[in-house]
Amino acid sequence: MAVPDNATTNANMRPLIDSFGRQVSYLRISVTDRCDFRCQYCMAEDMTFLPKRDVLSFEEIEAITEAFIARGLRKIRLTGGEPLVRRDIMSLVERLGQHVKSGALDELTLTTNGSQLARHAYALADAGVRRINVSLDTRDPALFTEITRRGRLQTVLDGIAVAREAGLAIKINMVAMRGVNDAEIEPMMIWAHENGMALTLIEGMPLGEVSVDRVDTYLPLRELRDRLAERFTLEKIAKRTGGPARYVRAKETGGELGFITPMSHNFCESCNRVRLTATGQLYLCLGQEDRVSLRDALREGGVEALDAALDEAMRIKPKGHDFVIDRDQPAPAVNRHMSVTGG
């Protein structure tokens, strides 16, 4: 399916607008549910991964992407699992990157655990990726291995260094966990800012059965922000990257600090994103089960059926999630792990 040039797209497209008037312009694509880490808050230790036959081919991902672009999509983020562990992933990145180079997309980005960055950073930059998010919850080697169950901190730090050399802008994503890594947040921010990187703090979310006690480790970011404000001057800035983070600048370090607060202050009223799983299920909300199968639509009816499926997706996109973490509701909001939907 050929993507129209910008003029044609702007003149003729039917924007993806849901029943609450929100326009979807941001697609997160999970290219695999597999990961070389087993982070305690994200995955079970003994995960059962999808059979490869159920996973979308690169050609199918590209066809779905083009259908979105024809309806006004402006940004794509590749996720997983760990996206860089999928075989031949750079061939997909290069093909999607052509849409950035043509102007059909504003941005192609990626979220990674950093384990494969040293190998792929320069190729990502050559393909048109300009910035990436790296998930890093601690800079303590022993705690890093404990949280990830198998990762090696130095490998990630080396990958970050190569990515910086390649010219990629880097934002560190850190899940804030009481009693686990909360003492490291200020040092992580200072380290990130000293190295020209932003830091975004994320509240834990009740997705899938995991080994960590979500009630005990839950840390509201309002509490954390108040703590940081005792030491740093946090200045509001208007920066938006298309996602849910709200940003401030720490005057003392000159760097940016983001807050993603799905629990304490949800951002559903401005939601502009949907998530495509590795099997072609389009989830309309991270915390709800509403979805349509774009894989079935594409395989059974081609481009026209795919376009109709996007219309149905906008019709059923829910108003928001119902995340709760407390002793009265210990069960996860949804049974699927974060790695299934994509981070």
- Residue 39 marked as a ligand binder: yes
Is 174 assigned to a binding site? no
pLDDT band of 74, cuts 50, 70, 90: very high
Annotation-wise, does 295 bind a ligand? Answer: no
> Does residue 159 lie within any of the structural domains?
yes
For residue 314, say whether it is annotated as part of any ligand binding site.
no
From edge to edge, which strands make up the β-sheet containing 26-30?
A: 234-236, 246-250, 256-260, 198-203, 169-176, 131-135, 107-112, 75-79, 26-30, 273-276, 281-283, 291-293
Q: Is residue 25 scored above 90 in pLDDT? A: yes
- The verdict on residue 274 lying in a domain is yes
The residue among 42, 39, 86, 40 whose CA lies nearest residue 61 is 86
Mind listing the pLDDT tens digit for each residue in 128-177?
999 999 999 999 999 999 999 999 999 999 999 999 999 999 999 999 99
How many of the other CB atoms lie within 10 Å of CB of 153? 18
In a domain, 301, yes or no: yes
Count of domains observed in the chain: 1
Give the model confidence (pLDDT) of 304-334 as tens digits: 999 999 999 999 998 875 544 444 455 444 5
319 marked as binding residue: no
Residue 1 belongs to a domain: no
Residue 95 placed within a domain: yes
Strand 291-293 versus strand 281-283 pairing type: antiparallel
Please indicate if the annotation marks 339 as binding a ligand: no
Q: What is the largest CA-CA distance in the chain?
A: 58
Question: Which amino acid appears at position 48 of this protein?
Answer: T
Q: Is 327 annotated as a binding residue?
A: no
- The parent domain of residue 335 ranges over 6-341
Running DSSP on this structure, what letter comes out for residue 4?
P
Residue 85 identity: V
Q: How many alpha carbons fall within 13 Å on the CB side of residue 180? A: 25
Query: What CATH number is attached to the domain comprising 171?
Result: 3.20.20.70
Looking only at the bridges linking them, the beta strands covering 107-112 and 281-283 are: unpaired
Distance CA 257, CA 51 (A): 39
Given this model, what pLDDT does residue 323 score?
Answer: 45
Residue ranges of alpha helices (H) inside the chain are 6-12, 58-69, 89-102, 117-127, 141-148, 153-165, 185-194, 214-217, 221-229, 294-316, 338-341
pLDDT at 319: 83
Q: Is 41 annotated as ligand-binding? A: yes
Q: Is 81 annotated as a binding residue?
A: yes
Give this prediction's pTM: 0.86
| 164 annotated as ligand-binding | no
